Each structure stands twice: as C-alpha cells, then as structure tokens.
Amino acid sequence: MALSIVGEMRRGSATLRSEGEGGLSYGFSATLLVYSTEKTTSREEVFAFTPGLPIVGLGYGPYNAVCTSIKAERQESNPHYWHIECEFETRERQKQDPLNPSPDPTTWLPIFRVDSFITKERVLYVDKSTPAKYIVNSADQPFDTPLTQTTTLAQFSFTQFEDASQSLLDIMERNDTVNTSSFVGFSARTLLLYVTGAELGTYGGYPAWRVTYQVTFDPDTHDVKLLDVGTSYKSGGNLYSYMDDTNSYRIQGNLNGSGGKSSTPAVLTFKTKTELNFATFIRQ
C-alpha cells in the first residue's frame, strides 16, 4: 500500500473574526486529494501513512496557523481517492490598532492577560502597627531569624510581532529588566520582564520577529530592601568600630542610612534590576 497527496482541491474557506477585547483570530480550511494504491485503505491508515499530511497541533503557513482537525472522506465514485479536509486557526492574542488598521503584524497591539498568580516570601522590616514599628528585639537588634511574609504576585504574558531588522541582541537585552517609569497604569519598577521566546520569519508576507514575553507584577517593586546595620559606623568622616558599652567587644549596631549611629536601623533600598522604558518597544 502506498499513499500520496495529489494536490489541493479548489474548495476551501477563510475566516477573520473578533475574539473580544479587540482580539483577532484567523482561520481557514483546505481540502487535499490523497491517492491510495489500495481500495481497502482505512481512515486510520490514511491519517498515519500519508506523507506530508498536516499533523493536528502543529503550525503551518505564513501565519503559523495551528492545525485543529483533519477529516477523511473516501470518494464514492473511486475508492482509491480520499478527500482530506484540514482546519487551521491562529492562536495569536493580538488586536488591530484602531487608528492604524493594517495586515502588517508588526503594527498589531498585544493583548495582556493574567496567566497565573505566584507567591513570594518577603522579609519584613516593619510591622503593621500605627505608627509602624521596626521588627527588632528589645535591645533594638535584628532577630537572628528574620520575620517573613508571603505575598501574592500576578504573572501575565503576551506575544508581539516586531521589526525584522532588529538584532537578536536587541531582544536579549530586554530580558530580566524592570520598567523605569509608569507603564499602562503600573508604577515604576513594579513590572519584571522576561523574554521567553523569539522567532524570525515571514508572517502573512511580512518579515518579522515573533517575540513572547512574561511579566511579573509586584506592587512593592522588584527592588531589594535591607536593614542598615553593621559592625562599623561613620563619624566626622572617619570610620569606627561599633563597640559594646564597656568598649571591649565589637558588636553589630544600627545605622541611620548615612553611616551614623542610630537607635533604630534605617531601611536601605537597592535597585538590582536594569531599568528600561517599556514604552519604546511594547506597543499599547
């Protein structure tokens, strides 16, 4: 038994529809003519052994449309021939710019949707009292084991078609960065961006990068906060050891944020992530 695709038949259809929130979905069908050397070939054999037959779940064509189903129908007039109807649909979460509608995917606007919620352990330095109290022992020293709190963060992802002329390095440099200023209603440094994929190809006849991103939203920012404590302090421009009351032992003491002694420690904030202006490359 041998099976082969003779060609694509003239019948077929295409659909472009709205998916809500301005989203677009493109679907189409194609009917292939398959020839079998045997009259008794089964449907399962046609699916399994026809070279080049679309595989359900894989992407095809200029829009990388996913094959969602295939249906086999034997010709009544000639059992050697089969009609294979294939259905395809894009799964891009994109929407047209209402001020600049275009078939060029590099002008489309990404759709942001929350994928999941994650939890993160965060060290607490002040409690919820009014006024807030530093979390230190009765001698104003930090506890050996810090007090932590579980917070909930939101994660969302999106896909964007981008200019094909940019380099892979341009895209890589966006990975593991935070927003330098307010972006779509989120305060500065509250969004942590990761690049999760990039494909360079031709989509609908237009060369473009297809880039996927994941963003984690932390309302308290992605900065790192630490209590200002140490075994040395500054005074008059000089550095001195923090000693006990008998001046016999070096101890860890509280600092005021400028290196000086303090009864309670200051909280220091460190920006550990590279900042980018997201508005320069994410369309909105």
Average pLDDT over residues 184-198: 95
Q: What are phi and psi of 228, to 5 degrees?
A: -85, 90
Higher pLDDT, 240 or 66: 240
> How far is Cα 189 from Cα 96, in angstroms, rounded to an integer?
28
What pLDDT is recorded for position 173? Answer: 97
Selection from 1-5, 94-98, 128-132 with the highest mean pLDDT: 1-5
Percent above pLDDT 90 for the chain:
53
Percent above pLDDT 70 for the chain:
92
Higher pLDDT, 138 or 63: 138
pLDDT tens digits along 241-272 = 999 888 999 988 899 999 999 988 888 999 99
pLDDT at 143 > cutoff 90: no
Residue/partner pairs of 12-19 with CB below 8 Å, 24 or more apart: none
Q: What is the DSSP secondary structure assignment for residue 238, as one 8-state letter?
A: E
Indicate the average pLDDT of the chain: 88
Band of the pLDDT at 198, cuts 50, 70, 90? Answer: very high
> How far is Cα 262 from Cα 21, in angstroms, rounded to an integer?
54
pLDDT at 24 > cutoff 80: no
pLDDT at 130 > cutoff 60: yes
What pLDDT is recorded for position 242? Answer: 93
Out of 185-189, 199-203, 217-221, 272-276, pick the least confident.
199-203
pLDDT tens digits along 64-91 = 678 889 999 999 999 999 999 999 887 6
- Look up the CATH number of domain 3-91: 3.30.200
Band of the pLDDT at 138, cuts 50, 70, 90? Answer: confident
> How far is Cα 30 from Cα 12, in angstroms, rounded to an integer?
5
Q: Which residues are CB-neighbours of 257 under 8 A, at least 6 positions away?
A: 228, 266, 267, 268
What pLDDT is recorded for position 18? Answer: 66
Higher pLDDT, 107 or 101: 107
Locate 206 and state its tokens: 């237009």
What pLDDT is recorded for position 19? Answer: 61
Show the CA angle centred on residue 259, arms to residues 257 and 262, nearest 5°: 70
Domain with CATH 3.30.200 in the chain: 3-91
Out of 108-122, 162-176, 240-254, pick the least confident.
108-122
* CA distances, 231 to each of 120, 136, 191, 234, 260 (Å): 30, 17, 35, 11, 11
